[in-house]
Structure 1
Amino acid sequence: MDASLLSIQPTSAVPIYRQIVDQLRRLASAGQLPAGQTLPSVREVAAFHAINPMTVSKAYSLLEAEGVLVRQRGKGMAVAAQDRSARSPASRLALLEPALQTVAHHARQLELPDEAVLARLRSLLNQESQA
């Protein structure tokens, strides 16, 4: 894995460590980061994204405590083996639930019609699949 795989938004209301945790959790759950895949070092991620190394370390530690990552002596952090239920569509959709709730809440506040929001989401999904 390359440090550039992570997308850090410094201006987001979501803390940077949480952005890292959420992204790595999703990538591991989807199988895009296979079990045993070594992650870039804390220093590499911090340098690439110009963030504090303690922020990356906190994210890695939280994921290790959850069992998503394992510490490999002399090699750093790697993706832990996950049971098949953690990779089911339902469990992966559950990881998306907070973001979907936020979108639904914002759509209601903006009084946007459901179909317009869903059409935009479909468009974004299509763009992502072609990227």
Structure 2
Amino acid sequence: MLLDIKVRTGSAVPIYQQIIDQVKRAVATGELSPGDQLPSIRALSKKLTINPNTVTKAYSELIREAVAESRSGRGLFIIERVQFYSEEERLKRLETAIDEFVNKIALLDFDAKDIWNKLRVKIKEISQRKGQDE
């Protein structure tokens, strides 16, 4: 597996959620593809020096959200993405994500131009990983 998961202890975001977020981002950007295997619970908990139950919780959520599937005796694998949200729900979730983003960056006191430039770079990176044009 090419994904290098890193967690920040002391973060307001729980460790299991940090794992979920990184895996989902890797899938969304094409860094992880269907069929790619995630590290075993034991291996990831050892690498991150965290409780195996934390990894189990993250992996269970990835399965519940249809990002990955457990294959008995073989491990956890990324599965083909299925869009199960309606267009209306997707737009609603986009709006929520944008609101959260704006609320977080408002406190950082950057100029709008700086924010747009950073955002363009990130979107371009994601598009390139997915093999899409901007």
Residue number in structure 1 paired with 2:31 = 32
Equivalent AA in structure 1 for residue 115 of structure 2? V
Equivalent AA in structure 2 for residue 118 of structure 1? W
Structure 2: how far apart are the matches of 1:60 and 1:110? 33
User: How many correspondences in the alignment?
Assistant: 117
1:64-84 deviation digits (Å, cap 9, x = unpaired)? 11111111111111111224x
Unaligned ranges ≥5, structure 1: none
Q: Indicate the SS of the match to 1:36.
A: coil
Alignment of 1:1-131 (within 5 A): 1=1, 5-83=4-82, 85=83, 98=97, 101-121=99-119, 125=122
Structural RMSD (CA): 2.8
Residue number in structure 1 paired with 2:132 = none
Is contact 1:38–1:75 with CA below 8 Å preserved after alignment? Answer: no
Structure 2: how far apart are the matches of 1:121 and 1:11? 26
CA distance 1:103–1:43, change in 2 (3 Å): same
* Identical amino acids, percent of aligned pairs: 32
CA distance 1:52–1:104, change in 2 (3 Å): same
Greater helix share, structure number: 1
Equivalent AA in structure 2 for residue 57 of structure 1? T
Q: TM-score, normalised by structure 2?
A: 0.70
CA distance 1:75–1:117, change in 2 (3 Å): same
1:36 is displaced (CA, Å) by 1.4
1:118 is displaced (CA, Å) by 2.7
Equivalent AA in structure 1 for residue 57 of structure 2? K
Unaligned ranges ≥5, structure 2: 85-89, 127-134
